């Protein structure tokens, strides 16, 4: 009963928040497919996106993904190809990643940083033989395009060989859960046992050509993301959904958000932004060793200083066993009642059956076990006890290559 109540309350808040965004609304190639399958469509970052389907609540969809497999339409995200002899150096000039050190077919999660060390966006960069394939956030599409366009123009002026392309007709499906690879394997000749976490292959899927299968996702589960020509997106989705190999269901943004929060994954615009550095956001591990040594990325002076321990605030995981779920924007207060930080994401955990959240607090309060409170009304009359916790809140189940196999 408590779980159903939590998920119902969370669903109402999430849908209301997304629906208030006012912008020209676009449709993914799967829009009609979603409507036909009973999706509740909302405006998210200027796109009509499914938040939940009529056959499941958000909590049920979340648990189905953890136990079986779900398909998410993430075609709203920006897909980019970067070509030219200087493509690797170009991307390294904008991020904290060691792209040069990547093997062909491998990918890295990284961030664009600004001159103050803030995060402009997070992105995944895959290294191919003749180009780099980049996936970045829907909420940052125009900003990312302008950032890449401006940087590319500067490099071209200096005689460097860089070409930035945004393929106009590509969709993106995320197939996530412990049975995800089983249903995809049925449609490909390539042995997916050889495709490890953060690796990628371009192949046919159910006879559909030029599909990029990347073993990654935003749920903490094993799974893949498939980039496919828009004209084939519905066909691919239908064949995956109708698989006899596993229990497959469609899932929306509601479950995607609670899954990523349980998995300890940041949401850009909530848990990190241009005023937040990778160190403050708990993403120092993204800063490659070679890049730390060279110190040649935007904001390096600020970030390298913070890596020495000179950081005033940190993102922390928080758990609360009673009371309302902490929501983005709620104040975090210490034992004396002083406001010390803000919640950036929060929801009831369908797996753990208690509330989980992220927030920023002073570094001295970031130790696991620290007890704090969250003001759920803004008036100090409803304070919820929370405790700093390790994140992820549930274990990752990525398909990692064993050390002996590397």
Task: Specify the CATH number for the domain of residue 387.
Answer: 2.40.30.110
Domain presence at residue 89: yes
Instruction: State whether 91 and 195 are in the same domain.
Output: yes
For residue 272, give the DSSP letter.
Answer: B
Instruction: State whether 280 and 353 are in the same domain.
Output: no
Structural domain boundaries enclosing 384: 313-406
Task: Decide: 373 and 383 in contact? Cβ < 8 Å.
Answer: yes
Domain presence at residue 2: no
- 320, β-bridge pairs: 355
Distance CA 177, CA 246 (A): 10
For residue 23, the model assigns a pLDDT of 57
Distance CA 240, CA 180 (A): 9
Give me the number of domains the chain comprises: 2
Distance CA 295, CA 152 (A): 21
Instruction: State whether 115 and 232 are in the same domain.
Output: yes
Distance CA 306, CA 311 (A): 5
pLDDT in tens, 293-303: 999 999 999 99
Is 115 exposed, middle or buried, given 0-12, 13-18 or 19+ CB atoms closer than 10 A?
A: exposed
Tell me whether strands 248-251 and 69-73 are parallel, antiparallel or unpaired: parallel
Residue at a domain's end among 255, 281, 311 = 311
CATH number at residue 247: 3.30.1360.120
For residue 330, give the DSSP letter.
Answer: P
- 386, β-bridge pairs: 372
Helix-strand-coil split of the chain, %, nearest 5: 30, 30, 40
Instruction: State whether 321 and 340 are in the same domain.
Output: yes
Instruction: State whether 232 and 298 are in the same domain.
Output: yes
Instruction: State whether 59 and 115 are in the same domain.
Output: yes
Residues of the chain with pLDDT under 70: 1-23, 403-406
For residue 187, give every residue at least 6 positions away whose Cβ sits within 8 Å of its Cβ, in sequence order, or none: 205, 206, 207, 239, 240
For residue 378, the model assigns a pLDDT of 75
3-state DSSP assignment of residue 374: strand
Q: Any binding-site annotation on 221? A: no
Instruction: State whether 326 and 219 are in the same domain.
Output: no
For residue 405, the model assigns a pLDDT of 60
* Best CA proximity match to 132, nearest among 174, 99, 109: 99
Instruction: State whether 129 and 230 are in the same domain.
Output: yes
* Best CA proximity match to 224, nearest among 322, 149, 126, 81: 126
Residue at a domain's end among 266, 285, 311 = 311
Instruction: State whether 334 and 275 are in the same domain.
Output: no
Instruction: State whether 287 and 348 are in the same domain.
Output: no
Distance CA 149, CA 146 (A): 5
Task: Decide: 222 and 181 in contact? Cβ < 8 Å.
Answer: yes
For residue 403, the model assigns a pLDDT of 66
Residue at a domain's end among 268, 292, 311 = 311
Instruction: State whether 305 and 337 are in the same domain.
Output: no
Domain presence at residue 14: no
Q: Is the pTM of this model over 0.85?
A: yes
For residue 269, the model assigns a pLDDT of 98
Instruction: State whether 290 and 319 are in the same domain.
Output: no
For residue 173, the model assigns a pLDDT of 99
């Amino acid at each position: 009963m408590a779980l159903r109540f939590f998920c119902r309350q969370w669903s109402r808040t999430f849908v209301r928040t997304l629906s208030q965004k006012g912008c020209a609304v676009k449709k993914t190639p799967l829009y009609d497919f979603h409507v036909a399958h009973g999706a509740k469509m909302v405006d998210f970052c200027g796109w009509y996106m499914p938040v939940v389907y009529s056959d499941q609540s958000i909590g049920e969809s979340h648990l189905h993904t953890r136990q079986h497999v779900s398909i998410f339409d993430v075609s709203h995200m920006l897909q980019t190809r970067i070509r030219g002899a200087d493509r690797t150096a170009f991307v390294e000039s904008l991020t904290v990643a060691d792209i040069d050190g990547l093997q062909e077919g491998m990918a890295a999660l990284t961030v664009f940083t600004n001159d103050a060390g803030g995060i402009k966006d997070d992105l995944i960069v895959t290294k191919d033989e003749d180009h780099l394939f980049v996936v970045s956030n829907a909420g940052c599409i125009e900003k990312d395009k302008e950032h890449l366009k401006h940087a590319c123009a500067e490099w071209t002026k200096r005689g460097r060989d860089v070409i930035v392309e945004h393929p106009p007709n590509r969709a993106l499906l995320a197939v996530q859960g412990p049975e995800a690879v089983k249903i995809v394997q049925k449609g490909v000749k390539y042995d997916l046992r050889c495709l490890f976490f953060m690796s990628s292959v371009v192949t046919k899927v159910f006879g559909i050509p030029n599909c990029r299968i990347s073993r990654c996702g935003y749920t903490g589960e094993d799974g893949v993301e498939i980039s496919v020509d828009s004209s084939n997106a519905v066909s691919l989705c239908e064949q995956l959904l109708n698989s006899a190999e596993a229990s497959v269901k469609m899932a929306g943004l509601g479950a995607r958000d609670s899954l990523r929060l349980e998995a300890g994954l940041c949401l850009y615009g909530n848990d990190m932004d241009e005023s937040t550095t990778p160190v403050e956001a708990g993403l120092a591990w993204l800063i490659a060793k070679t890049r730390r040594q060279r110190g040649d990325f935007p904001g390096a002076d600020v970030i390298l200083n913070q890596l020495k321990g000179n950081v005033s605030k940190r993102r922390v995981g928080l758990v609360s066993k009673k009371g309302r779920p902490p929501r983005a924007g709620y104040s975090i207060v210490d034992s004396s009642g002083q406001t010390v930080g803000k919640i950036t994401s929060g929801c009831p955990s369908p797996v753990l059956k208690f509330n989980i959240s992220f927030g920023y607090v002073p570094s001295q309060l970031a130790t696991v076990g620290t007890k704090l409170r969250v003001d759920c009304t803004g008036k100090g009359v409803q304070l919820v006890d929370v405790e700093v916790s390790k994140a992820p809140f549930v274990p990752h189940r990525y398909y990692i290559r064993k050390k002996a196999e590397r």
